[in-house]
Amino acid sequence: MTELPDDLVFDSATPADVAAIVALVESAYRGDASRQGWTTEADLLDGQRVDSQAIEQELVHPRSRILLARRGDELLACAHVAVDGDAGYFGMFAVRPDGQGAGVGKRVLAEAERIAREVWGLASMRMTVIDVREELIAFYERRGYRRTGIRKPFPYGDSRFGLPRRDDLRFELLEKAL
């Protein structure tokens, strides 16, 4: 992996970015291409991770944005950041598989936390992670997130969230004070 460039720029997605976001998220989580990185869900789920319609819906919600990290015209990472009750919500986090491990993800997470804290005045950030993804949960724990023990069912039967390859998937809520 190469060092993270100093010229990483953050901005918010627009409708013109939808196709690139779908491609990035799919490449980070599904299929053989995702296996280049460590965030793949290819052994857990087939099918799609996100579609254009879901992204377009998030772009129109107030106090919701899809954060993009770019170097020049190159999209390196994205994340969905939103207000969820009294906390921020962090999701749809994707870093290009060939760029994982170079620090881009840490910077995107920090920027999302900054937005929740400084722009929206929130005191905490929440996310849900498939609970069998121990390596990913450990990544978040190293950044101050804690496992809450609150679990939510995986939406089996709803292909918008992928096609499960196993029957023991569920989400766990992680939380961090900002």
- Where is 87: in which H helix or E strand? strand 87-95
The second-level CATH assignment, the architecture, of 9-125 is 3-Layer(aba) Sandwich (3.40)
Per-residue tens of pLDDT for the chain, all 178 residues = 334 446 799 999 999 999 999 999 988 877 666 667 666 776 887 788 898 999 999 999 999 999 999 998 899 999 999 999 999 999 999 999 888 888 899 999 999 999 999 999 999 999 999 999 998 999 999 999 999 999 999 999 888 888 889 999 999 999 999 9
pLDDT value of residue 49: 83
- Token pair recorded at residue 174: 């992680």
pLDDT value of residue 172: 96
As beta bridge partners, residue 11 has 68
